[in-house]
Every structure is written in C-alpha cells, then in structure tokens.
Chains A and B, each alone.
Chain A
Amino acid sequence: MQLPTYPLPDARGRYGVFGGRYVPETLIPALDTLRDAYAEAKTDPAFLSSFETLLREYVGRPSRLYLAENLTRHAGGARIYLKREDMNHTGAHKINNCLGQALLAVRMGKKRVVAETGAGQHGVATATAAALLGLECVVYMGREDIRRQALNVFRMKLLGAEVREVTSGTATLKDATNEAIRDWVTNVRGTFYILGSVVGPHPYPAMVRDFQSVIGEETKWQLQAAEGRAVPDAIIACVGGGSNAIGIFAPFAYLPEHQRPQLIGTEAAGQGVDTGFHAASVAGGKVGVLHGSMMYLLHDDEGQIQAAHSISAGLDYPGIGPEHCYYSDHNVARYVPVTDAQALSALQLLARTEGIIAALETAHAIHQAVITARELGEGKVIVVNLSGRGDKDVAEVMRLLGPGLTGPGLTGSELGDQA
C-alpha cells in the first residue's frame, strides 16, 4: 500500500490562508519532529506494510460499498451507495487514523498517548489502538459528552484507558481538545498526541487526511466494479472536524474540475443556523484561529469562541478543518447545514428502510443524500460515507423519542436541555 500525496498543504502547513501552526513555542520542536517522522514513515515500506496489515486483518478493511436499494427507492432518484465505515472494528472511521498515528507513536519511541474525544468514537478507537500496541492511554472528554455517551466512556475504561473529565469552558469537544493539547505541552517529550480529526496544527490535518484517504481510494475501485466508473456524481459526508469527509473527498478533490464529483459536506445546524444553537462553522462562522489552525470558526466579534450545539457530540465543534475551508472557498466542495431534527428523522429513515442504525453524526449525511438523490435524478450515482454505527447513540435517541417511539421527538424544551 501507499499513502497518497496531495498538492496541499504547502511547506508551511497552509491550505491557502488556512491551517498553520498557532501553538505555544514549547510544541514547535515536537511538531517539527512529528512532521519529519511522518514524512519518513510515509515512504517506509515496513511502516506502510504494518498499517496495511492492521487495516485488513484488524479493522476488517476494505469496508463494503453497499448499494442501498430501499433508500434509493424511497428517495426516488440517483442510486445511493453507502461506504460502510460503520462496519469497521470499533464502529466508525476513526480507527483508520488511530492505528496510523499509534504506529507512528511506537516508531517514534513514545510510550504514552493522549487524545480528545467528543462522541467517544475517537476515544474508543485510540484506546483500542493503544491496547493493541501496548501504549499507556489518557483520553480527555467533556463532562457534557460523558453524560451523552456513557457507554463509550465505559468502553474506553474496559480497554485500559484513563478517561479524564473536562469541566472547563463548554465541557464538550472543544474543551477536551484544549486539555489534550495542554497535556501534550506538559508531557511532550514522552507523549504522542493522537488527534482525531483533520484539525490542529500542521502536520495533523494532512496526516489524518492521509490515513483516512483509504476510504476514498477503496471507493474508486469498488465503484468501478459495481458501476463501471470510478467517480460518482456526488459524494456526501458529515463534517465535525472533517476527517471522514476528507477521507472520502480528498482522493477526488484534486481531479480536474470536469471530472470531479459534487462533494457535499453536511454541517450540524443544530436548532437552525439563525438560532445561535448550531455547529455550522462554514454557514455560520467566520475565519479565526482555534487549536493551532486558521479555519472557519464560530466566534464573536471579540474573537471569543462560541459554544457549538449539535444533537451529535461528534459534530459539536466550533471549527472545521483547514482543507475543508480551502475547498469551500475554491468551490471544490460545498457545505450545507442539516438540523438536529432532520438528522433524527434521517436516522430513523435509514433504520427502517435499510436496517442500519447509523450514528447521529452520520445521519446528517443521510438527510442530504435523499435531497441530492432527488436533485440528480435517476441514472446518477451518489456515495454517502456511513462514518459510524449508532450503538453509542441509542440511549440518547431513546431519551429523545421515548421508549415506545411515542415521545415528542425534538421539542423546544428537549433542545433547551442540551443547549
């Protein structure tokens, strides 16, 4: 296997104006070392072969590209394929990246890894990789997310990781990331920070993208086999920080414009982009710096970061990866808002039509898939990145819908509760 090479970022870790390395000086030598170690690993056959073996034998790759006939019929338009990252070991795309970074940690002689987590999927995947490779593991998680994702918290503990509760700020993913970075600043000499999305200082957005690109690369040959064409008409993925989306976008994003599929990222619109309770960084944010990178960001006129809101903990993040910002500015991809209520109905729709319970994050993409399938019409082909399974969300969904599915769904007060 090879890891892909893309034209971005530039040597300074920039995607146009986005990206960069806005971090305390303490971390700059560590980022330099990481950049060099990753560049070496990327061309080392031994490293690539370990990564490939783990993806195949441990994760269970390739993940299936499944034609969702019932959902296609329901939508009444383009054929909808689902890229089944939910079938990966640990239930989401996150494991692809975690294994890549954990292998790199071992290669660099680090004994301890730290990670941030929102939905807990990245935390579980990091704890899993750490258990497998014999690394000490600490996961930072916001108090609010610990409540929403209790099952994943316990999973991490079973896997031998220590979960540290974060109560500062909004007590969600943003603050867990702050705390993980502070831990790294403090323990930088012996610790590897396994970042879970295409955010953070260079080289993280590029490295995470490369490890996740296996999703899009597989899609090409799988679609070739199924449809006789490697490139679909549209690709849809949900966007928190943007790792599952970049994993399926990037292998297509640098094609010449006339060959490029529509790339559509769904941002969490929460209660609506104009309500103030959302996590739609492109639709509702403006350029700023968070977690070491320049990006579209939810922040006020003073530059204070605003609380994001989403029904899904994994999208509850006020920023979006720098490469997505570049795609958005250059019309390579577009980013559309999908509300909590739309995601919740899409989750039920997929469950009833296909027998697949998707993660709440993923449900945002499913909602858009139906819309885009209708827009494109019959004869066209759409691929949706089914980034994760919904097991972790079942309790929260039951709380919202009621055990007999007779509950009020998303009423104003339920939403107020979470906000």
Chain B
Amino acid sequence: MTSTLNNDVADTARRLAERPERIWAAFEHAASEGRAAFIPFMTAGYPTPERFPAVALQLLEHADLLEVGLPYSDPLGDGPTIQRASEEAIEHGTSTRATLQAVKALRARTDKPIVVMTYINPVYATGPKEFMRLCVDAGVDGLILPDLPPDEDLGIRFLAAEAGLALTFLIAPTSTPERVRVVTSACTGFVYAVSVTGVTGARDGGALSEVPALIALARAHTDLPVAVGFGVKDAATARIVAVDAGADGVVVGSAFINALKAGDDLGALAAKIVSGCRK
C-alpha cells in the first residue's frame, strides 16, 4: 500500500516536472533566438476534420507552442470568427474524443508543446478526471479554460496538478492588482494576458494600448512567461505586443481562421507574424 502510494507520488512528481518543462523550454528557446514565442490557435475539426491535421502541422512548422481549441457550442469569450468555426466543427462531429485523438496524432509528429483551450462545461460533462486522463493520453501539455476563474474550482487545479497538466488562467486589462496576484499564482505553465476588454477576434493595433501596463503588472507578481492574445492578426500587431510591450509569447487565432476562409497561405501569414515577434 505504502509503496503504491509512494510510486504514485513519484510518478506525479515526475510528470509535474516534465510537462510544464516542455512549455517553459519553448519560451526559453524563443527568447534565446531573440523572439517572443509564436503561439498559433486553431479550432479542432476546422475547416473540416479531414483538413485539420494538415492545417495544424503547417502552423506547427512555425510555432513554438500550438493551441488547439476544443469546440464548444456557447463560447462566451469568443468573437464571431471562432464562434462560427466552433459551430462548424461541432456540426462536422468534432467531439471531445475526436479532438484529443487529433492531438494524439499531432503528438506523434511533433515534440512542441500543445495546449488545449476549451470551456468548463465540456470538461465537467466528460468528468474532470477522465478529461485530464484523455488529455495526458493524447500528449497534451496544458489547458486553458477561459470561463474558469482560478478561485472558482480548486478541484480542477488539484486534478490538473495530479495529472501533470499545466493550467493557464487569464488576466485582462480590467484585472485589479489583487486579481492579477490570484490568477498568476494559480498558473502553472504560462500566464495568458488578454490584450483588450473584449472577446477574441482581429482588431486594429490601436486597441492594444493597454498591453504594456498589463504585462508590467503581471511581471510584478510572477516569473512565469506571459503570452498575449486577442486581437493580434499580423506582423504589425505582433510587433506591438512582442517588441513594444515585451510579451514572452504572442497568440494568434481568428486571423488564421479568416485566412483559411479567404484561401490565403497560412504558412506565409505565420512567417510574417514570426518576423513581427522578433525583438
């Protein structure tokens, strides 16, 4: 009994050490090349379940980390672009298991960290423990749950720690110093700073004026890498966030979905954004 417990603890500790390390290494690698880490986002099963793997691999070629969206019917934090992509993905049968199978297939082709973004209801519906197990089995490194403030469910944090999954919570321009303290101290992989008061979607660079203050506030509370998302769509907006504001990572989502819709070359857009991330 005692030895099983010890084995469990040792196993957990090993996984805890290993998983966020892959995320941290990705940020460090980018920093060593004088860049902010490039973190593209794509909704699983989009544009179709058949085409998603190729799209994700194309993004992975340029990425330091990949963020995969597990589609949800009522994504409160998302603007029209990701809403529609999620609706279409669900219509095409992209389930929780299908999403994680797709991630597992990617995992066989890449060593780069992959984080899954979804809302809390699909996690609860699958059962948090089973959900985490499926994530670990698929080779997921971390989770982002935008409608779960860290103080809302300590159980999720415990289970994620036990499973060795990094948890990223969000801070926003409206966050008070106290909230930034609460949120950053709950993050185990990296901190996600939301660039604007609003939902996801491509915007003008002018909307990013609150990012420097937010990053400074985060740095006062944490040593974890701080990635900025919402509203970054091209080299110019990436530069504002990475160079002017000094973010450690740049998340770009809606712009890639829009590019897919327009039939534009994802690789070319990704390369441009990476150039904007260069400090």
Contacts and interface: CB of A to CB of B under 8 A. Distances in A.
Q: Do A and B bind each other?
A: yes
Interface of A: 20-30, 168-169, 174-175, 178, 181-182, 185-189, 287-292, 297, 299-305
Interface in B44-91: 72-74, 76-77, 79-80, 83-84, 87, 90
Most buried by B among A291, A302, A305: A302
Contacts of B124: 287-289, 303
A26 B169 CA distance: 11
B183 interface: yes
B110 interface: no
A166 to B, nearest CB: 11
A303 B125 CA distance: 5
Contacts of B170: 24-26
11 contacts: A26-B170, A26-B173, A28-B175, A29-B179, A174-B74, A185-B76, A288-B125, A297-B121, A301-B125, A305-B73, A305-B74
A304 B122 contact: yes
Interface of B: 72-74, 76-77, 79-80, 83-84, 87, 90, 95-96, 119-126, 146-149, 152, 169-176, 179, 183, 194, 197-199
A24 B76 contact: yes
A189 B74 contact: no
Given A302-B126, A303-B124, A169 B147 contact: no
A288 B74 contact: no
B146 A303 contact: no
Contact of B90 (A22, A24, A291, A304): A304
Contacts of A27: 174
Question: Main secondary structure on chain A at its contact with chain B?
Answer: mixed
Given A20-B152, A23-B149, A182-B79, A303 B174 contact: no
Question: Main secondary structure on chain B at its contact with chain A?
Answer: loop
B199 A185 contact: yes
A27 to B, nearest CB: 8
Nearest to A318: B74
A302 B146 CA distance: 18
B121 A303 contact: yes
Nearest to B171: A25
A344 B157 CA distance: 48
A371 B140 CA distance: 55
Contacts of A187: 197
A169 B84 CA distance: 9
3 pairs of A and B residues whose beta carbons are closest in the complex: A303-B125, A303-B122, A26-B172
A24 B146 contact: yes
Given A299-B121, A302-B95, A185 B77 contact: yes
Contacts of A29: 174-176, 179
Contacts of A185: 76-77, 197-199
Given A174-B74, A186-B197, A25 B172 contact: yes
A28 to B, nearest CB: 6
Given A23-B149, A297-B121, 11 more contacts: A20-B152, A21-B149, A22-B152, A23-B76, A26-B198, A168-B80, A289-B120, A289-B147, A292-B76, A301-B125, A302-B95
A287 B176 CA distance: 32
A180 to B, nearest CB: 10
Contact of A292 (B123, B126, B147, B198): B147
A181 B198 CA distance: 10
B121 A290 contact: yes
B217 to A, nearest CB: 13
A168 B87 contact: yes
A27 B126 CA distance: 26
A102 B172 CA distance: 26
Most buried by B among A22, A27, A168, A290: A22
A291 B90 CA distance: 20
A274 B160 CA distance: 37
Most buried by B among A26, A175, A288: A26
Contact of B120 (A22, A28, A186): A22
A23 B194 contact: no
A302 B83 contact: no
